[in-house]
Structure 1
Amino acid sequence: MNLQAEAFSSGADRAPHKKNALKQRDGAIFRFREIGRRLRVRVYVSMLALALLALDFAGVKVAFAADAQIDVKIGFVRGPHSRDTISILDIPADDDGIAGARLAAEDNNTTGKFLGQSFEIEDVKLKDGDDPLKAFQSLADKGVGLILVDLPANQLLAVADAARNKNKDILLFNTSAYDDSLREENCRADVIHVAPTYSMLADGLTQYLVWKRWPRWFMIKGSHPEDELFAEALRHSAKKFGAKIVEERTYQDTGGGRRSDSGSVQTQRLIPTATQGAPSYDVLIAADESDVFANYLPYRTYDPRPVAGSAGLKPTSWDPSHEQWGAYQLQSRFFKLASRGMNARDNQAWVAVRMIGEAANRTGSNDPKTLRDYMTGPDFSIAAFKGQKQTLRHWNQQLRQPILLGDGRMIVSVSPQEGFLHQVSELDTLGFDQPETKCKLQ
């Protein structure tokens, strides 16, 4: 009886101690959790401060929700594209070019929403016979000062001169004209050139052929003015890098359709005859920017030789098969948007809009003059999934860029090639360099 009472008393005495121990344990856990929470808050605040500091060092003006929204309106004047192609696969889509601009606007808005910026594309699609100056004027009257231009060289020049005569700053982006004259004797200060030049394309191809030790060329050029422009770029490039054109012939365009029911039968007979009798050569070079004959050459030449230039191994700014350096994700996003592959015209428009987005992010402005000053300055570069950051040549406002060499199925190589050196940038081995330029920006 006494033992039971003692035991009961002992258990009762221990109960308060157990409760106190539990309270102490819970208090310790609470204090530990509170310390952890405070540490996490401090870490998050420190990380945010470091991020903002990094943005500040990078030149980005961070805009908070309380700041004024900056709306960046981008016009796009695009002319009709020829549907006369040898292959039905090359017939341009209705959204050719503009699809790339729209994707870039989406990309810009992804970042812009955190910086208080929005980007919008206003598309002006011209029909045959429409006046591009009226289209430009309509955009300018709406206050659009950033305009992508997908027009032939003569029309681009007319728009550039009209823009220069306006009383407000307007900046144009050339997304399709390859003419070297636009960057040389006919250069304009209000035009940024995103499309490469014929000389850049020719040099990219020539470097690879010289690297392969295929220096002897048999060249066939078309009879249209743009064919001669590419042919002249190839002649200059051959001389520049030590190749030799052993013979040159002209393919006369006599009109008619590019495709017919008997086309394969006729070309199988005609092309061997047209390519017969040339001196010994390594590569057949085609200069056919009008798409009249070049794609008939591969596998049909009299001598079994590779074809390059406007068919076969083609130099380009972009190709739907390009997937290196993260390009696969860009190709995938574009296919999701447009239900087709991204071509050079799409990509050049994409790069132009991304350049605007990058400059707007960095300067916190939508003013054309402010953006131009930043783009042509030493701090600007654009990542375009081609292995190198791309910058503008300050002397003619041409975008430096690698040139892809593709065969229609995959990328064979990328220029500049190994061993072609330059004191400033290896990208300046492609096209006319500063000592050669005739450009005087005005």
Structure 2
Amino acid sequence: MLHPVAVRRQGCIKAIAATVVLCLAAVLPTLAMAQVRKPGPPVTATAAMTYLTRAYPEPLPLSLVEPVITDKGIKGAEVALSDNQTTGRLLGHAYTLSTRIVAADADIAAAMRDVLASGSSLIVADLEAADLLAVADIPEAKDALIINTRSSNDDLRGKSCRRNVFHAAPSWAMRADALSQYLTWKQWRKLFVVYGENAADQEYVAAIKRAAKRFGNKIVDERKFTFDAGNRRTDTGHQQIQTQMPLLTQGPPEHDLIFVADLDEAFGEYLMWRTSVAKPVIGTQGLMALAWHRAFEQYGGTQLQSRFEKHAKRQMIERDYLGWLGTRLIGEAITRIGQADAASVRAFLLSPEFEVAGFKGQGMTFRTWDRQLRQPILLTGPRALVSISPQEGFLHPKFLTYTLGFDEAETQCTQRN
């Protein structure tokens, strides 16, 4: 005969087991039903998007700390495709994304013709300025939607603007204004400018000159970097650089900061800690004006960063964000209007009803006069956010983000929609 305590223990075990069985009996059918996805509504809009880019030569990483990335931008577009498809399944909208990488010496216009002939007229264009104009100007692309996710060239928003080109990437003017507003807020007025031989370097210099005049700052000197930085991987590489940078920056007028424009990453990183006069560095190195940064966590940014890292197995850089944003712009418009033809999407992008969430704390919309997406600009160091422009106190009668870049009265764009 069992002891009374053992009997009670056995009874408790049986009761618990019975409860578990009842719970499983109630839950398992529900779980089984959940595994069977109910068919969504019939497809009423199909968006065939193309990510178009060229195999441009990329600057080599400055050190072993930086990974070699061969799919910049593309992975961001893929994450946005998944976002679009998630919403599309509920609304009867279908999305596809093809990636076309054109060889460095191939005809980009011919590649664009092939893309259009395949039935895709919604183009996310990761192209430099000359290639962007080449694809926009072919007759077959007249009614296409081309979203620029790479070039910051100001002429693309000004005298070289095109009706079929919309700009997700911030312009040089927007980046320069974002920096200059912060310098004005800090009362750091005097800039010593150093730039490289890349045409884009000189475009950024032109933008910072405009911004300095606009916000009450001053360029006290400017110098072009004309000699090769020492090989950092040789045993004496650091010594060569340590000698070159003071020579480049010696004897300048009194200044508060050094503005560097070095898109090729040939020398800009070496200015810090090596200048003849100890000053902070801003521009393409040091304090940078970016659409996105891997350290940004505010306004739900951590969620986007995490989803991207899960998909790409690496951190999200600015090019990835712009690829994501360009693809989401298309998806957001189609979600709102239920149509996927380029003409309808283009019209809605410029309408007062359109805005897209970009994890920056406010809805982002297009300027109707040059088709530039207005957006906050992050001011970041290499590893942390410093500030976000527009800065406090810089006002505009419509949107504060209109203080970044060319306002309607300043634009040279004549191809209005």
**What does residue 17 of structure 1 align with?**
none
- Check if 1:437 corresponds to 2:417: no
Q: Which runs of 5+ in 1 are unaligned?
A: 1-63
- State the alpha-carbon separation in 2 of the partners of residues 141 and 75 from structure 1: 12
- State the alpha-carbon separation in 1 of the partners of residues 356 and 405 from structure 2: 19
Deviations 1:384-416 (A, max 9, x none): 011111000001100001111111101100000
What amino acid is aligned across from residue 399 of structure 2 in structure 1?
S
What amino acid is aligned across from residue 183 of structure 1 in structure 2?
R
- State the alpha-carbon separation in 2 of the partners of residues 218 and 210 from structure 1: 15
1:393 to 343, 361, 367: 367
1:306 to 268, 280, 298: 280
Aligned counterparts, 1:294-333, within 5 A: 294-333=268-307
Aligned counterparts, 1:11-410, within 5 A: 65-85=40-60, 87-88=62-63, 89=65, 93-162=69-138, 165-166=139-140, 169-252=143-226, 254=228, 260-410=234-384
- State the alpha-carbon separation in 1 of the partners of residues 303 and 60 from structure 2: 29
CA contact (8 A) 2:142 2:164 kept: no
Write out the 4+ residue segments of structure 1 that deviate beyond 3 Å after TM superposition.
Answer: 64-69, 88-92, 253-262
What amino acid is aligned across from residue 414 of structure 2 in structure 1?
K
> What secondary structure sits across from 2:70 in the alignment?
coil
CA contact (8 A) 1:83 1:91 kept: no
Instruction: Report how far residue 130 of structure 1 moved.
Output: 1.8
What amino acid is aligned across from residue 287 of structure 2 in structure 1?
L
Instruction: Report how far residue 294 of structure 1 moved.
Output: 0.6
CA contact (8 A) 1:351 1:384 kept: yes
What amino acid is aligned across from residue 348 of structure 1 in structure 2?
L
Distance 1:393 1:129, change over 3 A: same
Deviations 1:144-198 (A, max 9, x none): 0101111110110010011xx1287311110101000001001001011000000
- State the alpha-carbon separation in 2 of the partners of residues 167 and 389 from structure 1: 29
Instruction: Report how far residue 252 of structure 1 moved.
Output: 1.4
What amino acid is aligned across from residue 71 of structure 1 in structure 2?
T
What amino acid is aligned across from residue 145 of structure 1 in structure 2?
S
What amino acid is aligned across from residue 79 of structure 2 in structure 1?
L
Distance 1:153 1:312, change over 3 A: same
- State the alpha-carbon separation in 1 of the partners of residues 243 and 109 from structure 2: 46
Distance 1:376 1:173, change over 3 A: same
* TM-score (normalizing by structure 2): 0.87
> What secondary structure sits across from 2:112 in the alignment?
helix
- State the alpha-carbon separation in 1 of the partners of residues 61 and 233 from structure 2: 6
Distance 1:167 1:325, change over 3 A: closer
CA contact (8 A) 1:355 1:382 kept: yes
Instruction: Report how far residue 224 of structure 1 moved.
Output: 2.2
CA contact (8 A) 1:81 1:92 kept: no
Deviations 1:277-323 (A, max 9, x none): 11111101101122221111111111111110111101111101111
Instruction: Report how far residue 210 of structure 1 moved.
Output: 1.1
Instruction: Report how far residue 256 of structure 1 moved.
Output: 8.8
Distance 1:245 1:123, change over 3 A: same
CA contact (8 A) 1:226 1:290 kept: no
**What does residue 422 of structure 1 align with?**
396
Q: Which runs of 5+ in 2 are unaligned?
A: 1-38
> What secondary structure sits across from 2:386 in the alignment?
strand
What amino acid is aligned across from residue 60 of structure 2 in structure 1?
T
Instruction: Report how far residue 81 of structure 1 moved.
Output: 3.6
What amino acid is aligned across from residue 350 of structure 2 in structure 1?
T
- State the alpha-carbon separation in 1 of the partners of residues 324 and 292 from structure 2: 11
CA contact (8 A) 1:380 1:391 kept: yes
- State the alpha-carbon separation in 2 of the partners of residues 259 and 196 from structure 1: 34
Instruction: Report how far residue 261 of structure 1 moved.
Output: 4.8
